[in-house]
C-alpha cells in the first residue's frame, strides 16, 4: 500500500477509494432471516419465483364478468351468481349470462372481460352495459406481475420495503442474508464534550458521532459506540485495541491531520498498518486507511463537514463492498450554476448546494451558504453536493456543473 511518504502530494478521491477496495476482502457468511426482519439487509441469494403472480386471471374492478363475444350480441346479460376475492364462482357461465365480481376474485370459467359497476345498471337479474369494452378489459392476467422462474431479486441487493413485499408476493417467508459487519466509532479530542453537559472554556460539543450514527443507520451494519476518547496515549491505546477486537471496521474521527495527530498515529503504528493520506477532496483532506491487528480502519478528519463528506465518498462505498452490497450508482445530474461558485483548482470540491428546477424543467443549483469544513449548517439544510472536479476553477452564474442529490 502506498503511504504518504512514498507519495507526497495528494491522492485523487477515486484513487484513494480504489486502493481501499483493492485491499479488503468481503465477508461472505450468511444467515437465514425471516422476511419481517429482513428490512435493510443484504440478500445473500438470488431469488427466483416458483409461482406466477397473480396465480390466476382475476378482476381488477368491482363489476360484472362475462364472455366478450356475448356482449357484442346483447346489450343486457343475466346475472348467474357472484365471485368474491377468495370465494370463486364455481358454476358455469352460460351464453347471455354474467357474474357479479369483486376486485381480486378469480375470473369464472368462460369469462374474459369485466365492466366496472359504475358503467352498468341493474334491473332485477338483468344487467345493462353502458360501455362497449375491449376483450380482456379490467382483467389482471395470471403471471402479469411475476412469471414462474423469473429472477426477481439479485444477491447483493439491499432489501427495501418494496423488495420485501415482492418476495412476500411469491410466498417466500425466509431469506438468506449476509451477516452484518460490526462498525465501531471513536471520537478523539480533549476539547470534546457530549451534548447535554456544560461547556468549559476551550471545549466544544461533540457532533460527528451523531452524524456518523445516522449515516450508518442506513447501512446493513451493527454499530458499537466507543464514545469520546481524550488525546491521551494509554486511553487511546485501550480503546483502539478493544475496538479492534470487537469490530470488522473501526472509524475514528479527529487526530489525523498533521500537528495534533501524533498520539493517534503512534498508536495506529503499534496496532497495525495504517497509511495517512492527503486526499484531494475538499472538505476532508486528511484521511487514514489501513488495518489494525484484525479490523479495517478509517481515520476521518475531525472537522464536522469533512468527516461527513469523507464518510459519504470513501467510507460508505467501503462498507458496501465489505458487506457485499451493490448500491445503486449515486445519481449525478447536470445543473446550471444559479450563482457564481468559488473554486480553487487542486482538490475535488463537494460543495453543499440547494438545487431546484425552473418552469422549463432545467436544474439549477446554488451553494448553500459558507462552505468551510466546520460549517455544519451548510450540509444540514442542503439537498445535494455540487461536485467540482480537481482542475475546476471559479464558475460564473449559468455555467454547467454536476450535482449529486442527497
Ligand atoms: P482534528 O482533526 O482532531 O484536528 O480536529 C479538527 C477540528 O474538528 C477541530 O476544530 C476539532 O475541535 C473538531 N472536531 C474534532 N472532532 C470532532 C467531533 N467529534 N465533533 C465535532 N467537532 C470535532
Ligand atoms: Mg483533535
Write out pLDDT tens, residues 313-357.
999 999 999 999 988 888 999 999 999 999 999 999 999 999 999
The pLDDT score that the predictor gives to residue 6 is 37
Ligand 1 contacts CB of residue 261 (under 6 A): no
Across the range 287-302, mean pLDDT stands at 94
Statement: residue 5 has pLDDT above 50: no
Cell digits for 251?
472509524
Statement: residue 258 has pLDDT above 70: no
Residue 92 CA to residue 23 CA, distance in Å, equals: 68
The band of 262, judged by pLDDT with boundaries at 50, 70 and 90, is low
Ligand 1 contacts CB of residue 216 (under 6 A): no
The pLDDT score that the predictor gives to residue 53 is 97
Ligand 1 contacts CB of residue 299 (under 6 A): no
Q: Which ligand is nearest to the CA of 227?
A: 1
Ligand 1 contacts CB of residue 165 (under 6 A): no
Q: What is the mean pLDDT of the chain?
A: 93
The pLDDT score that the predictor gives to residue 37 is 97
Ligand 1 contacts CB of residue 284 (under 6 A): no
Q: Which ligand is nearest to the CA of 236?
A: 2
Higher pLDDT among residues 28 and 187, named by residue: 187
The pLDDT score that the predictor gives to residue 326 is 87
Q: Express each pLDDT in 48-102 by its tens digit.
A: 999 999 999 999 999 999 999 998 777 899 999 999 999 999 988 999 999 999 9
Residues facing residue 79 across a β-bridge: 98
CA 210 / ligand 1 centre spacing (Å):
13
The band of 269, judged by pLDDT with boundaries at 50, 70 and 90, is confident
Ligand 1 contacts CB of residue 303 (under 6 A): yes
The pLDDT score that the predictor gives to residue 120 is 96
CA 259 / ligand 1 centre spacing (Å):
13
- pTM for the whole thing? 0.86
Q: Ligand 1: which residue has its CA nearest to atom 15? A: 302
Which of 194, 197, 202, 253 to mutate for ligand 1's pocket (most ligand atoms within 8 Å of CB)?
253
The pLDDT score that the predictor gives to residue 8 is 53
Across the range 223-232, mean pLDDT stands at 95
Ligand 1 contacts CB of residue 252 (under 6 A): no
Amino acid at each position: 500500500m502506498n503511504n504518504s511518504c512514498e507519495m507526497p502530494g495528494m491522492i485523487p478521491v477515486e484513487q484513494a477509494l480504489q486502493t481501499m477496495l483493492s485491499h479488503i476482502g468481503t465477508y461472505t457468511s450468511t444467515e437465514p432471516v425471516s422476511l419481517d426482519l429482513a428490512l435493510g439487509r443484504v440478500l445473500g441469494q438470488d431469488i427466483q419465483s416458483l409461482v406466477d403472480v397473480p396465480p390466476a386471471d382475476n378482476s381488477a374492478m368491482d363489476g360484472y364478468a362475462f364472455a366478450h363475444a356475448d356482449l357484442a350480441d346483447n346489450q343486457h346479460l343475466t346475472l348467474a351468481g357472484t365471485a368474491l376475492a377468495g370465494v370463486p364462482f364455481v358454476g358455469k357461465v352460460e351464453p347471455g349470462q354474467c357474474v357479479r365480481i369483486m376486485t381480486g376474485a378469480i375470473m369464472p370459467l368462460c369469462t374474459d372481460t369485466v365492466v366496472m359497476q359504475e358503467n352498468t345498471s341493474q334491473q332485477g337479474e338483468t344487467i345493462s352495459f353502458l360501455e362497449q369494452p375491449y376483450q380482456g378489459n379490467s382483467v389482471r392476467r395470471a403471471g402479469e406481475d411475476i412469471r414462474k422462474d423469473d429472477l426477481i431479486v439479485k444477491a447483493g441487493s439491499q432489501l427495501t420495503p418494496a423488495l420485501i413485499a415482492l418476495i412476500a408476493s411469491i410466498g417466500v417467508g425466509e431469506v438468506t442474508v449476509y451477516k452484518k459487519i460490526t462498525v465501531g466509532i471513536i471520537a478523539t479530542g480533549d476539547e470534546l464534550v457530549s451534548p447535554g453537559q456544560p461547556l468549559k472554556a476551550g471545549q466544544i460539543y461533540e457532533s460527528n458521532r451523531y452524524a456518523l450514527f445516522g449515516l450508518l443507520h442506513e447501512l446493513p451494519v451493527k454499530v458499537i459506540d466507543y464514545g469520546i476518547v481524550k488525546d491521551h496515549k494509554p486511553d487511546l491505546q485501550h480503546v483502539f485495541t478493544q475496538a479492534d477486537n470487537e469490530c470488522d471496521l473501526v472509524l475514528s474521527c479527529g487526530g489525523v491531520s498533521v500537528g495534533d495527530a501524533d498520539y493517534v498515529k503512534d498508536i495506529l503504528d503499534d496496532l497495525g498498518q495504517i497509511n495517512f493520506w492527503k486526499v484531494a477532496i475538499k472538505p476532508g483532506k486528511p484521511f487514514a486507511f489501513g488495518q489494525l491487528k484484525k479490523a479495517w480502519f478509517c481515520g476521518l478528519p475531525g472537522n464536522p463537514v469533512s468527516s461527513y463528506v469523507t464518510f459519504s465518498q470513501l467510507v460508505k462505498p467501503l462498507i458496501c463492498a465489505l458487506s457485499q452490497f451493490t448500491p445503486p450508482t449515486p445519481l449525478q445530474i447536470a445543473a446550471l450554476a444559479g450563482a457564481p461558485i468559488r473554486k480553487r483548482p487542486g482538490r475535488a470540491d463537494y460543495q453543499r448546494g440547494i438545487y431546484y428546477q425552473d418552469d422549463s424543467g432545467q436544474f439549477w443549483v446554488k451553494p448553500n451558504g459558507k462552505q468551510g469544513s466546520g460549517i455544519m449548517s451548510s450540509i444540514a439544510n442542503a439537498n445535494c453536493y455540487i461536485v467540482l472536479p480537481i482542475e475546476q476553477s471559479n464558475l460564473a452564474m449559468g455555467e454547467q456543473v454536476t450535482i449529486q442529490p442527497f
